[in-house]
Structure formats: structure tokens, C-alpha cells
Structure 1
């Protein structure tokens, strides 16, 4: 907490003891996580503006209430997720087991490049990328994947040119947080993540994000939780505020379709990628997490909580 308070004090020119007291009060009485306080610039917002922001403690309560515990395992295990949501992945995949080295070789050589995933992981951990041309010993390659628990193997997604224009070396995912009320899926917030050429666009790989409006337009520059702001993509030079997610009508329809597959898990953070032929599913997160607007970057001093309240009724 003190590290975050020190960072906030320096960034916004606020007296550090006052920031500490405000952070503690916000956490104790307003369900604001310490990182929420930093990420959403609460130090410069008034009470009415703060009240418009979704926070992680509130989001966690929604997950516990609306995501049935008997079905959460589908979203926690990436292999099980691919099985259940297979028709919405729109890519080939396989599972490594003790005796399928030849199958793995055939799959990898056919694809050229593959992505492997450990069945349980988060924030991009356990995700790797391999090229067939770099494998010399296929038995050893298979044994290595099996020993390390990299059991899920997937075809690499080909993203839409509008996404590739920002960062061609990483498949850039869109986080769509949605609530399924039993009749339709309500989109609550959308964040566009951008990578830095690594296998994942998560912050642990140097990635960052920008919030999108309901029509897919970026609200401003990109940012992360480490005080880095990107007016342009560091590698391509693309101006982040100029980005617009293509195929928004298809994205809305796609989110509504995938939300119906396991309706017992109502509150989900869907990671999707828009390809030249439409959206495809990467994964779903039953603990949806929170992506929100950052006022010091965008100049917008309100968040998405009213949309959550309207859809969910809390």
C-alpha cells in the first residue's frame, strides 16, 4: 500500500500521508482495492466521479454471486474450456499425452507455428510459442511439453489487418466483460489489449490496453498498471487513440452466442480476437477482473459502473 501511495503522491503531486489515509478509507468503506485507487487516478477524482468506477472487490462479489461454483472449472481448465467451446474457437487444437508424439509432430508441421498452454494459468503465464522449423528432435520436443505441463496445443490465430497494423507480432485480444441475464448478454466494458511481439499481450509480457466505447473506438492512449502510457505503439508507431475495433456488430452477436454455452456462469470476461472472417474465442474468465478508464490519460473522469448496475441490478 505504501509503495502505491508513494507512486500516487509523486504522480499527482498529493501529500503522501493524505493519500495513505484516503486509500485506507476507500478500501474500508468504498470497496476500492489499492491498485484500483492507483490505476483509476482516484487521487484526482471527487466522490461522485469515483462512484462511477467498477472496482475489483465489487467485481469479485458479482463473480461469486452469478458464476455457479459447479461450472467454474470449465473456465479454469483451458483444455476443458476448449472442449466445451470448441465450435467458437475456429482453430485446430490438440492435447499432448504420453503416447502421441507422432500426432504432435504432424500437427506442428502442418501449422508451422503453434501455441502451447498449461491447462491452469492466468495473466499469460504458461503460454509458449514454437516453430516447427526449429525442432530437431520431435521425441524430445514432445517429452518436454509433457514434462512441463504444456498440454494444450493450438493453431495460431490470424488476426484482422486492423489489429495487425498496431502489433503484427502478437495476437491482440479484446477483453469483453459481459453479463448474461438468461435472455441476452449485456456488454459492460471493452478493453483492447496490445502486445509487444511476444506470445501474449498481457502486461507480464510488456502489453498494455486502451478502453473502447460501445462502438469499438479507443477512448485515448494506451496504459498499464506500471505507470506506462503509450500515445503510440512503441514498435509500430500506430496512434492508439485512432484505433477502432472492426466488425463490432459481429462482436456483439458473438458475445451473445458464447454467453449461452454455459449460462450458469453469467458474469464473464471474454477474451476474443477479431479475424478477417469474424471474431474467435480465446478464453473466458469467470473471475472477470476489471478494466477501466484512466482519467489522467483520457481526460474522461467517469467509469463503467452505471452500465454494470443497469444490466445486473445491484
Structure 2
């Protein structure tokens, strides 16, 4: 097995050390100690040791309940520092821009979007009006953004001055307009007001696409299902079933969806086989960007692609919520060999 580059690890640790917010770290330790009945100084020391020696991010420590896990259980969890190393090693810097820039992404993965979209330019005000009126509601994105930032929803019946609307989008840098995705009824049952995406983390080894982890995200009616918009998630097993209630990084746990009352643990991703085949095809488009977190949505006619994240991030089990005390790291190791 190939080891990861120690220089990347050192640079990442140094950067993180320079950015440590002592107050925020202490607050995390206090919250963790209260939740798990641990002494705060012991938790704080363990967090620092885990970060420095075991590559466990502070938020990873909180989110995945490391305070109640033993050493062997902790070793099974994927963490953000390790994920960062994988991204730096296996995602070619020359092609990351195809994922970072949403306009470039849409051009590259046009075949898999399966929805109408357009670029907003100074010359196409009439085309934009026609696009919005044809679809009724549209999604508009800023080309560069993450965690749902720069994503907006506009309705045709709310526009009173089309020239001002077009000019405002240009001024704010909202340059990508897309048709709203119609999601599968099984997803809409949980939150009809937000398109609920499925995060599929993969590694392409040059021949095979390995699915490393799958998480189902649930929105709260906002334009995005990201946590910054009140969203949460549950991990899915190999059969596409939720392994337990939903949760987020803010300490919220949802046995049922707060808005519809649907039980999260009853969720099963529809068209799982189609999703797997779809992801395998998508992962081969840019084979030099090998470690990716894909966001897809299952529609009544099959999966569609929302975006791909070359810095894949991490979605993992939360033991205190699911009762599952192991993570996905062994799958990463088996597929990638580190």
C-alpha cells in the first residue's frame, strides 16, 4: 500500500495550527463533555492529541463521537485531514477547475445534467426572460461557491422589471441559471420544497469506480439542503437504506423530518442500481480527478448530476445516533491502498 505524502500532512497541520480558534475549541470540548459526561480538560487534551497524532479534525471529533469510542473504533473513521491528503494526491491540480467552476462543470458534464441551463451574459436579457418564464422557477448560481453559498431561487411571477432583474444578476455575479430538478416522489415525501441530494463519494482507480460512502441529505424547504440552510443527513447502507436518524454538525438529531414527519430511518434511496451505474459513468469523464464527492438527485426517470466536489469532504456514522461504532475508512483503504 502506498503511504500518503508526509509533506502534505505537515503543511495541512501547520495551516490548521495557525488558524486554531482557542475559544471555539474550548466550546467544542465543553459541549462534548456535557453530552458524553466527560471531564472537559480530558476531552480538550484528547482532541488536541487526536488532531496532532491521529489526523482527526476538531469537528470530526465532535461529529463522530470520538469521546465514547475506543482506539480501534476511532481507527475505522474517515476524517477531514485524511480526506484532504487524498484530494491533494489523487485530484490533478490542472483539472480541479472543471469542478470548482460551476460553469466549467456544466459544460464538462452536460450529458449528465439532464436539465436545461444557460449562462447569463450582458447580451442575453431577452433569452433569460424567456428561460425564466418557460420554467416558472429557476435556480441561479454564482460560478464559484461551496456549501450552498451563492445559490439562489427565483420565480417568474416575482419579477416586475426584467431589465433590472437581468442587470442585478450580472452585478451580483449570479451567472448560471438552471431548470429546477423534479425529484422522485420518494424524496419529495421527505421535503418537497428542497431538492434532496445524495452524496456519493467515489475513487476511480483507472479501471473501476469504487463507491466509498453514500449519504442522503435532507433539506428544510430552502434553496439548498446544505447544513448552512438547516439541512441534515443520514448515511445509507449498501442497499440504499438509511442506517438511522438524521443529524448535522450543530448537535441536531432528527428521528423524523421536522417539516413532514417522515421517519428518516425508513428512507430507502430509489433506483439504487441506476445510481451506481450513473456514477460509474460520471466518474470516468475526468479520470485525472479520481477522488470526488458527487451530488446526485434521483428523479422519476433516473439520476441526474448536480455537482462534483474534488475536495470530497467526509460524511460518516454518528455512534450516539445510529448505534454504529465503526466508520468507512476500511473501504477507503481497500479501494485506494493507503
TM-score, structure 2 as length reference = 0.93
How many residues in Structure 1 have an aligned counterpart in Structure 2? 314
Structure 2 unaligned spans of 5+: 1-24
1:263-278 matches, cutoff 5 A: 263-278=287-302
Residue among 103, 121, 125 paired with 2:149: 125
TM-fit CA distance, 1:214: 1.1
Q: Paired residue for 2:40?
A: 16
Residue among 2, 24, 27 paired with 1:3: 27
TM-fit CA distance, 1:309: 0.4
Counterpart Cα distance in 2 of 1:83 and 1:3:
44
Counterpart Cα distance in 2 of 1:137 and 1:101:
11
1:1-314 matches, cutoff 5 A: 1-314=25-338
CA deviations 1:20-59 (Å, max 9, x no partner) are 1100110011000000000000000000000000000000
Counterpart Cα distance in 2 of 1:142 and 1:90:
25
Counterpart Cα distance in 2 of 1:117 and 1:213:
32
CA deviations 1:261-292 (Å, max 9, x no partner) are 00000000000000000000000000000000
TM-score, structure 1 as length reference = 1.00
Counterpart Cα distance in 2 of 1:90 and 1:184:
24
Structure 1 unaligned spans of 5+: none
TM-fit CA distance, 1:3: 1.2
TM-fit CA distance, 1:152: 0.2
TM-fit CA distance, 1:99: 1.1
CA deviations 1:88-125 (Å, max 9, x no partner) are 00000000011110000000001110000000000000
Aligned to 2:94, the other structure's residue is in SS state coil
Counterpart Cα distance in 2 of 1:38 and 1:179:
26
TM-fit CA distance, 1:167: 0.4
Counterpart Cα distance in 2 of 1:257 and 1:184:
10
Counterpart Cα distance in 1 of 2:273 and 2:222:
29
Counterpart Cα distance in 1 of 2:274 and 2:329:
25
Counterpart Cα distance in 2 of 1:252 and 1:183:
15
Instruction: After the TM superposition, list the runs of 4 or more consecutive aligned residues in structure 1 that deviate by more than 6 angstroms.
Output: none
Aligned to 1:70, the other structure's residue is in SS state helix
Q: Give RMSD over aligned pairs.
A: 0.4
